[in-house]
Structure 1
Amino acid sequence: MDCTLATCPVSESIYQYKPSLAGNAALLAIFAASGIVHSLQYFFWRNASFSIPMILGCLTEVIGYVGRVLLADDPFSQIGFLIQICCLTLAPAFFSASIYFCLADIVRLFGEEASWVKAKHYAWIFIPCDLVSLILQGTGGGLASVAADKNTDQAPGTNTMIAGLAFQVITLVVFMTLTGGFIFRTMKARSIQEKEMGAPPKLPISRERLATFAIPFALAIITIFTRCVYRVAELSEGWEGDLIHDEVTFVILEGVMIAIAVICLNIGHPKLLNQK
């Protein structure tokens, strides 16, 4: 608690390294820029169910990286640690919520007959799951922060965060399974129609618009899933594990993965599905 760079080696800080100021400032700028773009997209397109969680997620990421910047100045900063551990753990759950709402739009566009779940039920299934994940991660982050502040056992808070992250991973697996099943059944139905009609059935939107949405959307899901698996592995090792003390791995599998996701969701905005 009394350590500073003048009195203690960096190896005695929680992360055992001095975070990169340039790297964390760059990620902060990326999330701020993406959040501004998402805000403008909401202003022009009014897609609240998608844009508002994205804006909240970007704002939470920005606050989290402010904490990392504080740690770059002072790796013993208790405030910096508390800010970043809560915000960076929590933020991607907002992005997942936006993605869950998108699948309902996709199902409505291509037809519910190919979906195992009715379009209106996707929000009923996945948004409560996302809320559970948010509550567990937020509660765990709060408990871990209080424990760190009091220099007591952080295991209960850490385990609660792990539970929230693991639940998010399971939810994403179910989501990806349903999405993959819907795509497979839709393609199979279109193949049958093509054989019967002698020509491919007309798409509800142009191929160019579909590709502009689908490719970034799929990449966003993959990167968020990758990040969640990494955070489960990182926190499962505890505060003395190798992963939590490796900044390069953190930057790539946490920062870069989520940065790619938010940019992809700027590009693959669901408004593309509603325009001919």
Structure 2
Amino acid sequence: MSFQCTEISPSCPIEATVYGYYPNLGANSFFAVYFGVAGLSQSILGIYFRTWTFLTALGIGTFMEMTGYIGRILMHANPWSTAAFRLQIFCLILAPTFIAAGIYLTLKHIIIHVGPQYSRLNPRLFTWTFIGCDAGSIVLQAVGGGVVNSAGSDVARMDAGNDIIIAGISFQVATMAICGILAVDFIVAAWKSEPSREKNHNIESFMSVNKYSRAMWWIFGAEILAYTTVLIRCIYR
């Protein structure tokens, strides 16, 4: 019977764990609280405004992030904890996919509000196309996670599971990249065709136009920030 490490000891040093270090308690606690508050806020706002699809995507995504960071907090207490490792890797791998779904939903409504005629893809197809691809990515990552979790000490099986997970993440990155290209194309087309660009030469006048209100610019900024950070995280993973 092979020996398995269950806690830090002279024969099971921290250097031999998956990460080779104690996950940072402060940083992981911060993100656990941050995503917990974000998930709670999203739940309240989603119920109040009855944005059920958006609530589902962001609610699952944020609470999975919170749970994943709780798993890392548990790994700080015991880096050899198999349960904590599985919890954090499963949640932190899948969570961005649900957040990306929220980004696609927001983009669809931005396009509908600003002008569907500027988009090369029907805005109503954004959710079907990209969330459908997200679903495929989730399936691949979930299958890979299942293989990893069932691998035990079988290194070859664990590597195969990791390869499946990477394939799922790569598919998600490609999906987000295509979505980003379409979004940039839409923004450029809408900007160039806006009549007020010829009449007003200062940004204050341009932003005062109804469909480009200050509130919309905040939404644009939040959408770009969310897209960029999720894409960077997916590439990093």
Q: TM-score, normalised by structure 2?
A: 0.90
Name 1:229's counterpart in structure 2. 235
Name 2:5's counterpart in structure 1. 2
Name 1:28's counterpart in structure 2. 32
Equivalent residues of 2:6, 2:81 under 8 A apart: no
Shift of 1:3: 4.3
Aligned partner (choices 74, 84, 90) of residue 88 of structure 2:
84
Q: Secondary structure at the match of 2:84?
A: helix
Name 2:148's counterpart in structure 1. 144
Name 1:116's counterpart in structure 2. 120
Structure 1, unpaired ranges of 5+: 232-276
Cα deviation code 1:228-249 (max 9, x no counterpart): 1100xxxxxxxxxxxxxxxxxx
Structure 2, unpaired ranges of 5+: none
Equivalent residues of 2:114, 2:211 under 8 A apart: no
Amino acid at match of 2:188: F
Name 1:220's counterpart in structure 2. 226
Name 1:174's counterpart in structure 2. 178
1:183 aligns with 2:187: yes
Name 1:59's counterpart in structure 2. 63
For the aligned residue pairs, the C-alpha RMSD in angstroms reads: 1.7
1:69 aligns with 2:73: yes
Where do 1:232-251 residues align within 5 Å? Answer: none
Amino acid at match of 1:64: G
Cα pair distance change 1:77/1:189, threshold 3 Å: same
Equivalent residues of 1:86, 1:141 under 8 A apart: yes
Q: Identity of aligned pairs, percent?
A: 30
- In the aligned structure 2, how far is the partner of 1:3 from the partner of 1:13? 10
Q: TM-score, normalised by structure 1?
A: 0.78
Amino acid at match of 2:13: P
Q: Which has the higher contact order (CA 8 A, sep 6+)?
A: 1
Amino acid at match of 2:161: G
Name 1:251's counterpart in structure 2. none
1:207 aligns with 2:213: yes
Amino acid at match of 2:132: P
